[in-house]
Chain A
Amino acid sequence: MLEVNDVSVRFGGHLALDRASISAPAGQITGLIGPNGAGKTTLFNAITGLLTPTEGTVVIDGHDVTGQSLHRRARHGVARTFQQLELFTMLTVRENIRVAADIRSRWARDRGDMGALTEDIIDRVGLRDVADERVTAIPTGQGRLVELGRVLACKPRVLLLDEPASGQDDRETERFGELLVEVASSGAAVLLVEHDMSLVMDVCDTVHVLDLGRMLASGTPAEVQANPLVLDAYLGTDSGGAA
């Protein structure tokens, strides 16, 4: 569903991504982990078009979208959340989700009832109690759910989630994991960047590890957990690597 091939991104003299490749198949949750500064958000930006890669290609659902603008890529079915919440602060929870649904209905020429879709999503993500609250009045954990709700309103084929569990408590994270499994089982490809390892290990089918802009390892959660290179990147070695 999503294929990223040898993508490099350079900021001046700094190579933030070095020929990174990753794929996210439909119906599965693919994890992308790595220490801070590894290039995870840069990869998301390169996939969605917020950054133009120096080299490499991004293919969504068989279409090479590398040179395309953000909105064109979105229309190929890719949607994302942001590491730092990008909520529409002048609007309520309901309106935040409705905006996304309305935007999609326009370009997808979907004549369905966007009001009903919005209400359905509010129930799915569990925001009924705060639906009429302004988004600045709800805690970060629920803000993450609003972002997920907005993304779901775009009916995406590829979901990129950038640290969606940060700011959530254990119960919220558990519910969030269930939601992700539900979304993936409906046929979408989910690419999850997350620091909450228990969530990653619980819900992901495959996990990729990124370090210093390079793909370090890939495999099932169990394989990745046992990989010495990964342990080294996260914890450092006795010979003096940094934590």
Chain B
Amino acid sequence: MDKFLVFTIVGLTLSGVYAIVASGLVLTYATTGIFNFAHGAIGMFVAFAYWQFRFGWGWPAPIALLLALGVLAPAIGLVIDRVIMRGLRGTGEATRLVVSISLMVGLIALANIIWEPSRSRPMSTFFQGRRIKVFVTTITYHQAITILVALVVAAGLRWLLYRTRSGVSMRANVDDGTLTLLNGARPSRIAGLSWAVGGFLAGVGGVLIAPTLTLESGSLSLLIINAYAAAIFGRLRSIPLTFVGAIVIGLTEGYLAGYLPGDNRYLAAFRPAAAVLILFVALLVVPNPRLRDRNHIREFFPAPTVPGMALMAGGVIIAAVVMVTTLDTVSVTSYGPVFSLGIVALSLVPLVGFAGQISLAQLSFAGIGALAVAHHGIGGSPLGLVLAAVFAAVAGMLVALPVMRLSGIYLALATAAFAVALDRWLFNLPDFDVGPVHVSVFRSGSLNVDPITVLGLDFDSPESLMVLSAVAFAAVAVLIAGLRWSRFGRQLVAMRDSEAACATFGLNLIWPRVGVFALSAGIAGVGGGLYAMQLGSVAPARFDLLTGLPVFIVVVVGGTGLVGSGLFAGSMLFGVLPFTSGFGPVFAKINSTFSGLAGIGLGRNPSGAVPVFARAVRPLRNDVLVLGSMGAAMAVVYALRLGDAFANWTFAVLIGLVAVVAYVAAVVRARAESSGDAVVADLHDLDWAGITAPWTPQQLARVESGLDLDSVRQASDA
């Protein structure tokens, strides 16, 4: 009985934290329509700040609390609202999701810059060690405070929402924002207040839970995923139901801590994964959202062209050959993931870009691919890579089937829950049997991976593996382009626009969705397999949710519907960033915020960066003469480099110079050619004539000349 009571108190304390954090999440979602993935990261950041004030600088607790919770936490909420979220009105759900995920990644990077992650930061609980007697057991002051604060938050939110003018406006804004605006409320003020209160509640949760855990940015930000499960209980709308969810999750965790046999290796890792499994189940039982009809998509991704794909595939293979013949082995090893993890990035193109689905678990599928190669690619057997695709595709299908009716943030959360369950629990299990099938995972450690042998060729060096990965990347890119041109690809793109219309043509939406999930997971599995071979030894930490998020963000920033975005993500994350980080620690720190900052800027250009780049280089692509000359000049520079005429830096500068000169030449030639079409181009300026300013005689003359009215007059006179 004593034990039961003790773990009930442990559970209720956790419930208190989850309730506080989750109610802040529900408040901002319900009033602004933005699901804030960074909510936990705000709590983490405030907890770090509190540690700095209280323990780093030794300030008294009341002042540290006032500054952290009374000033910093609401201020973070307000700044996020003003600077980032306000610009997101009218954007699609995916864009908003990526922006808030990027904010989370950015906050974690910022915390790591300010507070060096390798240093330990012990944080004592409130009134350290003091206890109150409750019946037959005792409860710490910290636990009592946590439960009390949760009760105060519940009562406070009730008062705010039902007894204050601002609260009534908030509730009205949820029901009908436009109507609230017409009745004189100010939605921007309501949103600002919600974000400030949300930030405060995240901060309170962070400060209360941090002393019981290690003060670490990543795990503290993700721990709040447990609070997401509570918010889903409340269907992201109801604060009382959110509290009920928090109690269920907190007590479950408490009792698992007390009663789960600690010596059972299969169940030991289950406790940290319990909340995400509850989240997964809660997502499955939330009421079925309506089919998506007419999405307001601002993004547009043109279908790839044959010359474009040939240029890209050839360019990738040539780039890999140039890299392996000019760089030393250490550099080749460090840039190895450009193409292997680039394939994981590519896997998001059909799923997110074509079909409009969301998966935050692609790197987990890559982990399954890595496992397959480790276990079945022994001695270089290509079977490992084949099974990497098959196992990952089957896992993708198994995830896809139950979550098929979900979309948007629900799908993102479900796949995130799957990723966390894998890296917290399943990847850490010892071997087990499922009927006749023996399943081996990471055997609670790291696994060695043998390099592959194909048709007698051993890919046993970083150089050969890089070229193999590049060839695989090119092949996958062509496969995805082929998919976009195919009947299935057109269907996926159509579903992204209007599921309702597709269903009324007789399309059973389940199978295309499951198909594209499986295909995408299979591709990620191949990428993971190649990555594992490059690493030589793999551990679960390489494939966790947080490591995978930048890949997702940068693909979306590149333009998810474009095959080029896979190359963009691979080369940015694993090529350009590590390269520039080599310039010094300052560059490394700036680079660590790259994916966060890039994602946050997405609201301004939802179609991504690749189309902007593609538009810019179009003159060069279209000018065969200049393009050919550029290729020839680069080949000469490369030959000189191979002959050791100069070192890598000179080589890189010369290649860059040739590219710039060729680009300028192509632009100049394109301008000279298009000057003859100036009259036609000018006619486009006429779109606004007579609307923004009165017609001018020159504009009328241009219209007459454009329509060739003189000849019409002559004909009619005749």
Contacts and interface: CB of A to CB of B under 8 A. Distances in A.
B294 A100 contact: no
Interface string B287-301: 000110110010011
**B interface residue count range (under 10 / 10 to 19 / 20 to 34 / 35 or more):** 20 to 34
B490 A99 contact: yes
B494 interface: yes
A86 B294 contact: yes
Interface string B479-513: 00000000100110110111011111111110000
Interface in A78-97: 79-80, 82, 84-91, 95-96
A80 B505 CA distance: 8
A87 B497 contact: yes
Contacts of B300: 89-90, 134, 136
B293 A71 contact: no
Nearest to A150: B505
A154 B506 contact: yes
B561 interface: yes
A84 to B, nearest CB: 6
A86 B501 contact: yes
Contacts of B505: 74, 79, 99-100, 103-104, 150, 154
Contacts of A150: 501, 505
Contact of A70 (B301, B494, B497, B500): B500
Given A88-B493, A90-B561, A99-B491, A80 B504 contact: yes
A78 to B, nearest CB: 8
A88 B500 contact: no
A157 interface: no
Nearest to A84: B294
Contacts of A86: 293-294, 497-498, 500-501
A205 to B, nearest CB: 24
Interface string B264-308: 000000000000000000000000001101100100110000000
Given A87-B498, A103-B507, 7 more contacts: A69-B503, A84-B294, A86-B498, A91-B490, A103-B502, A107-B506, A150-B501
B301 A88 contact: no
A88 B504 contact: no
Nearest to A80: B504
A80 B293 CA distance: 14
A7 B300 CA distance: 40
A231 interface: no
A108 B493 CA distance: 22
A117 to B, nearest CB: 13
B334 to A, nearest CB: 38
Q: Which of B301, B490, B498 counts the most A-chain CB atoms under 10 A from its CB?
A: B490
Interface string A207-237: 0000000000000000000000000000000
Given A86-B293, A86-B294, A89-B300, A98 B504 contact: no
B608 to A, nearest CB: 14
Contacts of B507: 71, 74, 103, 107
Contacts of B496: 90
A88 B303 CA distance: 14
Contacts of A80: 504
Contacts of A28: none
Given A71-B509, A102-B490, A89 B497 contact: yes
A146 to B, nearest CB: 11
Contacts of B494: 88, 91, 96, 99
A103 B506 contact: yes
A128 interface: no
Contacts of A103: 491, 502, 505-507
B497 A90 contact: yes
A74 B490 contact: no
Contacts of A138: none
A75 B294 contact: no
A99 B502 CA distance: 9
A104 B505 CA distance: 7
Nearest to B295: A89
A88 B497 contact: yes
Going nearest first, the 9 A-B pairs with the smallest beta carbon separation are A74-B506, A70-B503, A86-B501, A88-B494, A88-B497, A103-B505, A86-B498, A99-B494, A103-B507
Contact of A50 (B291, B297, B497): B291
A66 interface: no
A50 B301 CA distance: 29
A160 B297 CA distance: 26
A88 B498 contact: yes
A8 interface: no
20 contacts: A70-B500, A70-B503, A74-B506, A79-B504, A79-B505, A80-B504, A82-B294, A82-B500, A82-B501, A86-B501, A87-B497, A88-B498, A90-B493, A99-B494, A99-B502, A99-B505, A102-B491, A103-B507, A107-B507, A108-B506
B166 to A, nearest CB: 27
A158 B297 CA distance: 31
B490 A104 contact: no
A48 B506 CA distance: 11
Contacts of B487: 102
A48 B294 CA distance: 16
Nearest to B487: A102
B354 to A, nearest CB: 9
B353 to A, nearest CB: 10
A107 B300 CA distance: 29
Q: Which of B293, B294, B497 counts the most A-chain CB atoms under 10 A from its CB?
A: B497
A72 to B, nearest CB: 8
A81 to B, nearest CB: 9
B222 to A, nearest CB: 34
B503 A71 contact: yes
A85 B294 contact: yes
A105 to B, nearest CB: 9
A61 to B, nearest CB: 14
A69 B493 CA distance: 22
Contacts of B501: 82, 86, 88, 150
A102 B502 CA distance: 11
A154 B503 CA distance: 12
Contact of B500 (A50, A98, A99, A134): A50
Contacts of B291: 50, 70
A22 to B, nearest CB: 19
Given A85-B294, A90-B497, A48 B504 contact: yes
B490 A70 contact: no
A44 to B, nearest CB: 10
B515 to A, nearest CB: 13
Contacts of A102: 487, 490-491
Nearest to A90: B493
Contacts of A95: 490
A87 B500 CA distance: 11
Nearest to A78: B504
Contacts of A108: 506
Interface in B458-490: 487, 490
Interface in A87-144: 87-91, 95-96, 98-100, 102-104, 107-108, 134, 136
